[in-house]
Chain A
Amino acid sequence: MIGTAKSGHPGGSLSAVEIVVELFFDYMKIDPQNPKWKDRDRFILSKGHAAPVLYCAMAEAGYPDTPMDQLNTLRKLGSVYQGHPDVRFIHSLEASTGSLGGGVSLAIGMGLAARLNGSPSRTYVMLGDGESQEGQVWEGAMAAAFHKMDNIVAITDYNRIQLDGFVKDIMEVAPLADKWRAFGWHTLEIDGHDLVAIKKALEEAEATKGKPTAIVAHTIKGKGVSFMENNPKFHGTAPTPAEMVLALQELR
């Protein structure tokens, strides 16, 4: 779909596939046929540029406003599949995102509402490691721990690459897990491509009371496509038609 759009962010979508799949097809309590069910779990894609992975998951899950047969209209005029998630076009999305750093604050608001409503709803927010350079992330991290938000989970897709290059060369965020721990979060580090590890981490988060959980998921940018893996070029560049053929062969 990114190839057809001729622009987009393939690398950061591929690194997040297993996490999104585990959440949407196993762990989260959601009802795609009834997307606004009040006690549903919620997913916020704070790293909004990975919209394609979210769109694919939602289409596969069968939400009424994410048609599978229109995925290739990504980024085209009139498409519901906007460049970054937009609730005006897809009502089933939990939040409009795209400007980095905002998701943790949104999750706190949703978590507070669930608490006030006595709802078991849990909120999952996925961040990028580069995104963690944004100050608002840490304002939210401080507030979530202070308010003992044990119904929210922040998952970092730690793929080590951002637009301009390797995170360590642009603005190092390590030691990332130590930072979340220091802010008062129960913090886990896992292999973000291991479905069993992801599920175990989500279970541990749910069992943790009195504090929010941060899952630092170590991933590979462009995972599954040899020439995209760990290649900063594919943070924000679409594959050419030839590259697309190769990529799809490798992913099969």
Chain B
Amino acid sequence: MPAKTKFEIKLGAATREAFGRTLVELGRENKDIVVCDADLSKSTMTTYFAKEFPDRFVSVGIAEADMVGIGAGLAYAGKIPFVSSFSAFVMNKGFEQLRVSVAYPNLNVKVVGTHSGISIGEDGPSQMSVEEISLACSLPGFVVIAPADENSCKALIREATAHVGPVFVRTGRPKCPIVYGADQKFEIGKAIQVADGKDVTVIANGLLVAQALLAADTLDAEGISVRVIDMHTAKPLDRDAIRKAAAETGAIVVAEEHLVDGGLGVRVAQVVAETVPVPMEFVGIQNTYAESGQPEELLEKYGLVAVDVAAAVRKVVARKR
């Protein structure tokens, strides 16, 4: 077997930056796209769209509930609204409106949360969104996406736009390690195997995909062969990829920058339980709020880096035997 190419961290653009740039391209292609933002356009990067299409940019002020409702009204009238803010604000303050005004009538509203997870860093827990995958997945009909890097974010924002129906996309603040080339194809609900292996599978999303790839290299040297799957769509899940991973590798670790309660891990575990039950371990935030600090420090302190993924893999492999 030829030696694997080692994964190296090379930083690309932040996923929020990829979102902002892609939104401008989409705005040029489709006159029905309207963007709403709640006084954070310079952070969510919808400012690029606002500059080029001022008539199709709606400033709603610091009023996320109203913003989601306005998005719903635009969608009722046939527009394709993007409503954007920090994940913590659009999801939590807009949740009632996402439920009753968007999900319930199944409207074509695109919700993009930025500054997700604890990697927002210095701003601290009030701005950190660590529960929105759980909340978004609880909305019937919603598609929920958490891209791993710049290129996947660009492609998945396009997929989200082409999809008719409500979508939530989770993006982050910091520059993001590059996982994919620009030509990689993405499809909603179709996971991507980014590394093959036979002993165990790590299913990850967002920043944890790169960490899982790093962990896989470490473990390979220890004789543990790790499959890594980027489950960029948390809903609908790629059940086939999960079932195959369980059947072929016999153990699964799920890794995410999110509370372990209600996140991707819980959702994957449900499919594993329904298909091929195998031992599982979970890497995520454990029943707490984080704190201020630099993103790298926080990810390390709260157990969301490669060494944590590797430790979970060793644990699950031991349980397998």
Cβ of A140 within 8 Å of any chain B Cβ, yes or no, is: yes
Chain B residues in 8 Å Cβ range of A105: 65-70, 72-73, 97, 101
Question: A7-15, A68-76, A90-98, A236-244: which one contacts chain B?
Answer: A90-98
Closest beta carbon of chain A to B62's beta carbon, Å:
9
Chain A 113-155 per-residue mask, 1 if CB under 8 angstroms from chain B, else 0: 1101100000000000000000110011011001100000000
Nearest A residue (CB) for B97: A102
Residue of A87, A116, A142, A146 near B105 (CB, 8 A) is A87
Chain B 105-145 interface mask (CB, 8 Å, partner A; 1/0): 11000000000000000000000000000000000000000
* CB within 8 Å for A136 and B65 given contacts A98-B100, A109-B72: yes
**B61 and A116: CB pair below 8 A?**
no
Selected contact of B74 from candidates A94, A97, A110, CB within 8 Å: A110
Instruction: Say yes or no: A112-B74 contact (C-beta < 8 A), given A96-B105, A102-B97.
Output: yes
**B71 interfacial contact with A, CB 8 Å:** yes
The answer to the question of A168 belonging to the interface, with a C-beta cut-off of 8 Å to chain B, is: no
Q: Is the CB of B55 within 8 A of A136?
A: no
A interface size (C-beta, 8 A) = 32
Which residues on the A side are within 8 Å of B209 (C-beta)? none
Q: Are B66 and A143 in contact (CB under 8 A)?
A: yes
A94 near B76 (CB under 8 angstroms)? Answer: yes
A47 → B minimal CB distance (Å): 14
Q: Quick one: given A102-B97, A113-B79, A142-B61, are A108 and B73 in contact (CB under 8 Å)? A: yes
Given contacts A88-B105, A102-B97, contact A146 B77 (CB under 8 A): no
Indicate if the CB atoms of A109 and B100 lie closer than 8 Å. no
Shortest CB distance B39–A (Å) = 12
**Across-interface contacts of A97 in B (CB, < 8 A):** 100
Contact A106-B76, Cβ < 8 Å, known A112-B34, A140-B69: yes
Q: Give the one of A86, A96, A105, A114 with max B CB within 10 A.
A: A105
A102 to B105, CA, bound (A): 13
Q: Closest 4 CB pairs between A and B?
A: A109-B73, A105-B69, A113-B77, A139-B66
